[in-house]
Amino acid sequence: MGINSSKSKLAFSSKRNALIFQERYNGKIVDFKQSLLLATNSLDHDHKILNKIYQKKVFLMGKKIFEKNCKKDIDFEDYLEINELKFDLKTKFCKKLTKQRLHYTTLYLWYLKNGAVSHQHNSSIVLTKKEKCPVCGMFTYKYPRWAAQIFYKSKQKETHYSFDGVKDMMKFYFNPQAWGNYKDAKIINISKMLVTDYYEQTVIDARKAFYVIRSDIYGPMGHELIPFANYSDALNFKKDHFGTKILKFDEIKEEEVYELD
């Protein structure tokens, strides 16, 4: 038991077999009531882990498979159960798929595209096709995965600037006048700063985020400060992608930003 939980709970027919397993693989021996209590207490944590796995792998794979192999005219209101959708994907809407690819596609359509888990997602940063990064001049809408914004409010008027990555956003933050005539772009006038969580692809407060630098993942402008809402995600990313440091917003130094170029 426990392929979708952070800690597996294995059952044995006798205490002797449990002791043999424990001697070889460690672990703790408990009875059913204790095991049930442990499982119940870890549900929320396990669901969060499973959801992150789905976001990072299953849904992305399902989306790619669906867009390449399936018809798009699916009316989700026709389906009350996920198995009904899966059957029609197999028989009506998609080319022949392996069991695993069909499974990924079904999960993507049922939970994400169909909106079953839409409540778990904050809206993404809104970008227009006319907006250019004031630092590098690139169209920011082409890079939604890396989008960042600073909003300034002065005399009841709010303006914002969009960036194709946190690195350029921070360059502008520290010295707006280096990039043009931005008289109202003063730190004291900032009403909010938004960045995009790398794993979740959701909008987060830039001043509350954690940033990994010098990883093997590159943004549109090369090395980046890669943002995460949670320290644990930042730490896992740092380990997986050979980052050198995790910074809070107020720990970011201007000279360190330019060293990423």
The tens digit of pLDDT for each residue in 139-197 reads: 999 999 999 999 999 887 889 999 999 999 999 999 999 999 998 899 999 999 999 99
pLDDT score, position 75: 82
Q: Rounded to 10 degrees, what is the CA torsion of 210, 214, 216, 221?
A: 90
- Which residues, other chains included, contact 130 with Cβ-Cβ below 8 Å and sequence gap of 6+? none
Does 47 have pLDDT greater than 60? no
Write down the pLDDT at residue 188.
95
Is it the case that residue 120 has pLDDT exceeding 80?
no
Sign of the CA dihedral 64, 123, 186, 208? Answer: negative
Q: What gap in Å lies between CA 246 and CA 248, rounded to an integer?
A: 7
CB 247 within 8 A of CB 234: no
How much of the chain exceeds pLDDT 70, in percent? 82
Report the alpha-carbon angle 55-61-66, nearest 5.
120
Q: How far apart are CA 194 and CA 172, in angstroms?
A: 14
Whole-structure pTM value: 0.56
